């Protein structure tokens, strides 16, 4: 058998249950000839996720980005929306797709989530909503954000792409805000190959979202909105149901890797680690380190050093969203307004973390990072 030292190691790899366990699901799909349009597996997965999160209503999507676009449409968001520059580009792209102007606000140093202390200064008469991200699966300061939203009559839509399974003291973090949007992309803790979902506060909202993701159809002769095709297929839903059977094991194995990294990298000179932000249950979706000036190598030099050893870490998130051409001319995109986010983007490096990452490979990564500083 080929040594793991000869195989490339990436930041994440999708968890794949045994193929023979997936075959019966496919056989049922073939027998039913129901491939999409809210079939039985689609409905089962919605119900299972509602139970897991302790919420009443979820609408599944083909991917998280279409979920974000639709969430904004469903709440009729217009004008300006306050959001973070430190995220994946889908967060703000969803705003542009809806003709909405993103207004970037800096992140908090401890969490790299949207900093509530910076939000009020960015609110204008055109502001209609706040779009925070639970970065790396760490919960935002939801109470402070909601207080600001209530004071200014703003909607709150959470990009919860990283937050599957994360809980605070009151339960799943996806219950917060007017809507929460999840991603089930292959790189996520829980995946359906491609997929996503919107957590809805009530049946009326879910019905509107369900119409919007199906071209606006209410029935075969009635279209009530200019909807999109955002439905999840039966194959994706079936894979999600199978994944859920293993999710506790997935969380446990990620925690073991997180613990090993923290134990051996916490005291490495020039390497800074994020601490938890109050989550009762973490999902260990990512393991970012921040390479400081005291470290012998720059962030990019360490990135290349790891790559030379077959370890493909990721500078996630770099560049900032606000640095991309479609955003950089915005007044709110200037680095002078975003010092914490800019510093994090210049220093971040996410190390590999996924359930099938072998212990000896975890140790090899640790030895490389720590050994350079000795």
SS3 235: helix
- Domains of the chain by start residue, with CATH: 19-244 (3.40.640.10), 247-372 (3.90.1150.10)
**pTM, full prediction:** 0.97
Reading the chain (374 residues) residue by residue, the pLDDT tens digits are: 344 556 899 999 999 999 999 999 999 999 999 999 999 999 999 999 999 999 999 999 999 999 999 999 999 999 999 999 999 999 999 999 999 999 999 999 999 999 999 999 999 999 999 999 999 999 999 999 999 999 999 999 999 999 999 999 999 999 999 999 999 999 999 999 999 999 999 999 999 999 999 999 999 999 999 999 999 999 999 999 999 999 999 999 999 999 999 999 999 999 999 998 888 999 999 999 999 999 999 999 999 999 999 999 999 999 999 999 999 999 999 999 999 999 999 999 999 999 999 999 999 999 999 999 77
Buried b (16+ CB within 10 A) or exposed e, 326-356: ebeebebbebebbebbbebbbbbbbbbbbbe
Cα 219 to Cα 61, 204, 210, 224, 237: the distances in Å are: 19, 16, 12, 10, 23
* CB atoms closer than 10 angstroms to residue 96: 14
- Crossing angle for the helix pair 19-32 and 234-244, to the nearest 10 degrees: 140
Q: In the prediction, which pLDDT does 374 show?
A: 74
Cα 285 to Cα 135, 136, 161, 215, 223: the distances in Å are: 10, 6, 10, 33, 39
d(CA 368, CA 360): 12
- Burial of 160 per CB tally in 10 Å (0-12, 13-18, 19+): buried
Closest by CA position to 87, among listed 344, 264, 360: 344
How does DSSP classify residue 165? T
- Burial of 256 per CB tally in 10 Å (0-12, 13-18, 19+): middle
How does DSSP classify residue 221? T
Q: In the prediction, which pLDDT does 277 show?
A: 80
SS3 37: coil
d(CA 103, CA 321): 11
> Over the Cα atoms of the chain, what is R_g?
21
Q: In the prediction, which pLDDT does 219 show?
A: 93
How does DSSP classify residue 317? T
What number of residues does the chain have? 374
* CB atoms closer than 10 angstroms to residue 228: 18
Bond prior to 319 in cis (omega within 30° of 0):
yes
Could you give the angle at the alpha carbon of 371 between the alpha carbons of 365 and 374, nearest 5°? Answer: 155
The strand pairing partners of 219, in sequence order, are 222
Q: In the prediction, which pLDDT does 5 show?
A: 57
d(CA 168, CA 138): 10
SS3 20: helix
Query: Is 112:136 a contact under the CB 8 Å cutoff?
Result: yes
d(CA 40, CA 217): 19
- The secondary element (H helix, E strand) that includes residue 290 is strand 287-291
Closest by CA position to 294, among listed 177, 373, 192: 373
Q: In the prediction, which pLDDT does 4 show?
A: 54
């Amino acid at each position: 058998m080929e040594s793991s030292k000869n195989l490339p190691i990436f930041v994440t790899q999708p968890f794949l249950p045994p193929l023979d366990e997936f075959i019966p699901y496919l056989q049922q799909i073939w027998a039913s000839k129901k491939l999409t349009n809210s079939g039985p597996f689609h409905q089962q997965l919605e119900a299972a996720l509602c139970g897991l999160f302790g919420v009443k209503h979820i609408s599944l999507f083909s991917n998280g980005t279409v979920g974000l676009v639709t969430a904004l449409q469903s709440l009729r968001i217009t004008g300006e929306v306050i959001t973070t520059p430190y995220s994946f580009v889908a967060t703000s792209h969803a705003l542009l797709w809806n003709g909405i102007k993103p207004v970037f606000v800096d992140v908090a140093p401890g969490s790299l989530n949207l900093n509530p202390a910076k939000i009020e200064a960015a609110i204008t008469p055109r502001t209609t909503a706040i779009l925070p991200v639970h970065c790396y699966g760490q919960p935002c300061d939801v109470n402070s954000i909601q207080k600001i939203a209530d004071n200014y009559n703003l909607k709150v839509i959470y990009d919860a792409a990283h937050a599957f399974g994360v809980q605070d003291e009151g339960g799943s973090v996806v219950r917060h805000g007017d809507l929460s949007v999840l991603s089930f992309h292959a790189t996520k803790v829980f995946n359906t190959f491609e997929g996503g979902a919107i957590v809805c506060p009530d049946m009326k909202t879910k019905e509107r979202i369900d119409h919007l993701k199906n071209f606006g159809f209410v029935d075969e002769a009635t279209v009530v909105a200019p909807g999109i095709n955002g439905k999840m297929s039966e194959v994706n839903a079936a894979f999600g149901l199978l994944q859920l059977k293993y999710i506790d094991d997935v969380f446990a194995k990620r925690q073991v890797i997180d613990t090993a990294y923290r134990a051996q990298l916490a005291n490495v000179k020039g390497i800074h680690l994020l601490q938890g932000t109050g989550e009762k249950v973490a999902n260990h979706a990512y393991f970012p380190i921040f390479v400081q000036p005291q470290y012998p190598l720059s962030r990019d030099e360490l990135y290349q050093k790891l790559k030379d050893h077959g370890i493909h870490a990721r500078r996630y998130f770099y560049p900032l969203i606000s640095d991309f051409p479609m955003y950089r001319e915005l007044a709110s995109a200037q680095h002078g307004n975003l010092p914490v986010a800019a510093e994090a983007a210049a220093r971040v490096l996410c190390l590999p973390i996924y359930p099938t990452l072998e212990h000896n490979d975890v140790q090899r990564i640790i030895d490389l990072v720590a050994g350079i500083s000795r």
